[in-house]
Amino acid sequence: MIIDSHVHIGNSEWGNFTPEYLINIIKEADYAVCSNLNGIDSTAGICDEYECNTEMLEVAKRYPKLKPLAVCQPNAAVNNCVIRNLLENHPEFVGLKIHPEYMRLPADSDKYNKYLELAREFKKPCLYHSGHIKSRFSSPVLIYKKAQEFPEVPVILGHLSTGPKDCHKMAIEILLDAVENDRANLYVDVSWIDFAFERLNESMEDTLLLIESLRKTRKGDQTYRILWGTDAPVGKFNHSRESYLKNLKIFKQRVLERFNDESLLENLLSENARKLYGF
Ligand SMILES: [Zn+2]
C-alpha cells in the first residue's frame, strides 16, 4: 500500500490544481493526506478557514482516497471556533495543516496555542511547513519550541527543513533531541528533501541520512516517525504522473539498496502514516 502523506488541491503560485489534476498524478497512491492551497497560498485571494476546509471536505467525499487536513489561519481568525466546529462535525479530518511561512506568523507565536489545544483535544496530528533553518517564520527551531509546549501533539516537520544539507542536518538534530530527551512528539515527511532547483538529487543522500539517523537513536529505532510524502502537485517535479512515478521508484530503490529491509520500506511508504493518522 502507498500513502502520500502530503498533497494539495487548490490555487497557488505553482498553478491551479483541480482535484482531477491531483488524482491523475497520484494514481499510484492508495491514500493521500490533502489540504487546500486556497487557504494557504492562493494567488486569487486567500479563502477563509470555513471556505477552504468545506471545499476540501466536499472534494474528499468525491475522492475518498483523499484524507483531508484542516487548514488553520491563526494569523487571520479571531478564535478557533471554525476549526473546532469542523472537527466536531467532521471526524473525517485526519489532522491540521499549519503554514507559518505564508502566514508570516512565527511558529513559536502564542497565536498557535488555541489550535494546538484543539489538536490535543481531538487527538489530531499537525502537519507544518518546516522551512529554512534561518526562517523567522517557519524554522524547525521555532516549530520545535512550540511543539515542546504541546508534547502530546504529533507535530510533523513537512519537508524536514527547506534549504541545503546544513539545514537538513540541523533539523535531524532537532528530531533526535526531541526523541532522546522526550521533549516533543515530532514526525517528519520526506517531501522536497532531496530536490533542489527543480530536480531530484538521485542519490537521495539527505533522505537516507534522515532514515539512518532515526534508525539508531539512544531510544532505539524511531523510523516510525518518517512519512513518505511529495507535496504534489507543488514543484515542477510533481507536475506529471510520470515524474511522480519516477521519484517514487528512486525512493524505493535507494531505501532498499541502503538498508535491504522490505518492511522498513513498507512502513515508510504507508504503515507509519496509517498508524499516525489512524486510518
Ligand atoms: Zn505542502
State mean pLDDT over 16-32.
Answer: 97
- pLDDT for 142 equals 98
- pLDDT for 199 equals 86
Beta bridge partners of 189: 227
pTM of the model: 0.97
Give the distance (Å) from ligand 1 centre to CA of residue 70. Answer: 13
Give the distance (Å) from ligand 1 centre to CA of residue 265. Answer: 22
Cell numbers that stand for 183 in this block: 521533549
Neighbours of ion ligand 1 (CB under 5 A): 231
- pLDDT for 42 equals 80
Beta bridge partners of 196: 199
Separation of first and last alpha carbons in the chain? 12
Q: Give dist(CA 124, CA 90) in Å, integer.
A: 13
- pLDDT for 279 equals 87
- pLDDT for 114 equals 98
Please determine, for residue 58, whether its predicted confidence score (pLDDT) is greater than 90: yes
Give the distance (Å) from ligand 1 centre to CA of residue 192. Answer: 10
Do residues 142 and 108 make contact, with C-beta atoms less than 8 angstroms apart?
A: yes
DSSP count for the chain of H helices, then E strands: 11, 11
Please determine, for residue 13, whether its predicted confidence score (pLDDT) is greater than 90: no
Please determine, for residue 152, whether its predicted confidence score (pLDDT) is greater than 80: yes
Please determine, for residue 259, whether its predicted confidence score (pLDDT) is greater than 80: yes
Give the distance (Å) from ligand 1 centre to CA of residue 129. Answer: 7
State mean pLDDT over 117-128.
Answer: 98
Question: Any idea which architecture 3-277 has in CATH?
Answer: Alpha-Beta Barrel (3.20)
Give the distance (Å) from ligand 1 centre to CA of residue 37. Answer: 8
Give the distance (Å) from ligand 1 centre to CA of residue 217. Answer: 28
Give the distance (Å) from ligand 1 centre to CA of residue 79. Answer: 24
State mean pLDDT over 179-191.
Answer: 98
- pLDDT for 129 equals 98
Give the distance (Å) from ligand 1 centre to CA of residue 159. Answer: 8
Q: Give dist(CA 230, CA 250) in Å, integer.
A: 13
**Average confidence score pLDDT of the chain:** 96
Please determine, for residue 105, whether its predicted confidence score (pLDDT) is greater than 90: yes
State mean pLDDT over 5-25.
Answer: 95
Domain ranges in the chain? Answer: 3-277
Cell numbers that stand for 54 in this block: 468545506
Give the distance (Å) from ligand 1 centre to CA of residue 218. Answer: 31
Q: How confident is the model at residue 44 (pLDDT cuts 50, 70, 90)?
A: confident
Give the distance (Å) from ligand 1 centre to CA of residue 181. Answer: 29
